[in-house]
Amino acid sequence: MRVLMLGWEFPPHLSGGLGTACLGLTRSLAGLSTDITFVLPVPTSAEHAGHLRLLDAAPHATGAAPAGPMSDEARPAVSPPPARGVTIHPVPSDIVTPYPGGGSALPAPEGLGAWLNDPDRAPVPTAAAPPSAPGLARPRAPYDGDLPAQAQAYADRCLALAQTLDFDVIHAHDWPTFNAAVAVAAATGKPWVAHVHSLETDRAGGTYHVNHAIETIECDGIRRADAVIAVSRRTGDHILATCSIPPGKVHVIYNGIDLFDASAAEVVADSSAASDPVSNQSATLPDARTEDEKIVLFLGRITAQKGPGYFLDAAQRVLEKYDRVRFVIAGTGDQAHELVARAAELGISDHLLFTGFLSAEDVDRVFRIADLYVMPSVSEPFGIAPLEAIQHDVPVIISKQSGVSEVLEHVLKVDFWDTDDLASKILAVLRSPQLAQTLRDNAGQELRRLNWREAAEQCVGVYESLRSPS
């Protein structure tokens, strides 16, 4: 089976969970003898992608072959391509992230690497709020640049490139690739699959600030697709309600995780973050967590969809009863500065650490020292981070408004808005080593059935149904 896969991000260039999902899925598809050509509109390292042939989506004359590999001067400073080979052709793009406000960030706090090395002894920095930081109630930041126009430019480039390739089916990830899939399918007669990892209503985070131009592209693509993959029943139901398509067109295929021993894993830093001072820390983490202070972790985009404000309010309630705890907020987003200001208003800044962007290496480190991971998302189509936390032997609390809550039982669940309940559950885990260990043991066993191999097999089943309709 030859698959033309259209994506918007891929490791090591990540701005959300989509790139992580694409990596895990394509690895397992390659293991099923699926030939994948992944088209990506940004330069990408070969470091994690030995199973893929990566081509750029730069404009090519009709019938012309793609340009040659990038020069040594233009090539990122990464390890050599693996034996199976990866062809990389960079494409300049003004789009930093397909997520609203995803590029906003706090200054990197000094000493983060030292704290990750030994949080028990090192001073813990906290980013300072700007004097005029607005409140959390302000509208979310818009998408950077003219993203619909960039998506259309990507579509034009994919259409030219597709004429030089042989493939059986098109697999398009999320709305930025849907125009491209429509164009390539129309030109080639090949069937295509719309893989929905999130909807614009999810990204709006429960606010009224839905981008209707993007919502239109999204639903139009979903209606035109030959099949639709949703990452959860929750997402599938939203697709049916929002886009009015026949129920039989939607296939629910849950995300998975690549199983490994987190305690012994070799972690490769994100080379795309070389300019970020936080990502350049290379401290060695101690084997044991500190006993003097518990670490509660929020890891994700700091934007309305992910519910960081609810995490902060719950933190205040916890600290009223238990003060040997530090709340770590790792990530960037349009609510970062507002959240710092809110923490100051609540008087809890001394118990908070805003890390800013973390490299893959530092994400691994912060998971290793966490005593609890919390995902209070307002509207989460799936949510891979809880699986990563469980893999690192960290107890997990997730919102009931997440797709991953459909497949995880040995976690604690809350309504995102019920910060009293969230605070109570955080306190229960921190105060009860037995509860924490029970969650670790049972969730770890549960994780074994959530793997990318099963997801890939189901995707192949969808492809085959399109090639040989019943």
CA 448 to chain centre: 20
Given a cut of 60, whether residue 156 has pLDDT beyond it is: yes
Question: Residue 153: its pLDDT value, please?
Answer: 85
pLDDT digits (tens, 9 = 90+) for 363-395: 999 999 999 999 999 999 999 999 999 999 999
pLDDT digits (tens, 9 = 90+) for 115-151: 666 665 444 445 444 433 333 444 444 555 577 888 8
- Of 211-215, 295-299, 458-462, 466-470, which gets the smallest average pLDDT? 466-470
Same domain, 314 and 241: no
Rounded to 10 deg, the angle between the 336-346 and 308-319 helix axes is: 20
Given a cut of 80, whether residue 107 has pLDDT beyond it is: no
Q: What percent of the chain has pLDDT over 70?
A: 69
Same domain, 330 and 342: yes
How many domains are there within the chain? 2
Same domain, 420 and 462: no
Same domain, 214 and 202: yes
Same domain, 63 and 211: yes
User: Do 311 and 112 touch, CB atoms closer than 8 A?
Assistant: no
pLDDT digits (tens, 9 = 90+) for 211-223: 888 999 999 999 9
Tokens of 139: 């509208």
pLDDT bracket for residue 48 (50, 70, 90): low
- Is residue 103 in some structural domain? no
- Is residue 116 in some structural domain? yes
Same domain, 292 and 242: no
pTM of the model: 0.80
Q: Could you tell me how many residues make up the chain?
A: 470
Mean pLDDT over residues 91-113, rounded? 57
The C-alpha angle 227, 233, 236, rounded to 5 degrees, equals 40
Same domain, 239 and 364: no
Max mean pLDDT range (23-37, 300-314, 456-470): 300-314
Question: Residue 118: its pLDDT value, please?
Answer: 64
Mean pLDDT over residues 183-198, rounded? 96
CATH number of residue 181's parent domain: 3.40.50.2000
Same domain, 233 and 361: no
Picking from 22, 27, 24, 29, the residue whose alpha carbon sits closest to that of residue 1 is: 29
**Per-position b or e across 157-196, b if 16+ CB within 10 A of its CB:** bbbbbbeebebbbbbbbbbbbbbbbbbbbeebebbbbbbb
Mean pLDDT over residues 437-449, rounded? 91
Cα 188 from Cα 159, distance rounded (Å): 9
Cα 53 from Cα 88, distance rounded (Å): 8
pLDDT bracket for residue 468 (50, 70, 90): low
CA 164 to chain centre: 31
Same domain, 156 and 299: no
Given a cut of 60, whether residue 235 has pLDDT beyond it is: yes
Picking from 101, 141, 12, the residue whose alpha carbon sits closest to that of residue 300 is: 101
Residues whose CB falls within 8 Å of the CB of residue 436, separated by 6 or more in sequence, listed in order: 371, 372, 395, 429, 430
List 72's β-bridge partners, or say none: none
Residue-number span of the structural domain to which 218 is assigned? 2-96+145-255+452-467
Torsions phi, psi of 355, nearest 5?
-85, -20
Picking from 167, 145, 135, the residue whose alpha carbon sits closest to that of residue 55 is: 167
Same domain, 118 and 79: no
Question: Residue 37: its pLDDT value, please?
Answer: 86
Same domain, 394 and 444: yes
- Is residue 207 in some structural domain? yes
Given a cut of 70, whether residue 86 has pLDDT beyond it is: no
Same domain, 277 and 245: no
Cα 445 from Cα 116, distance rounded (Å): 28
Mean pLDDT over residues 420-438, rounded? 97
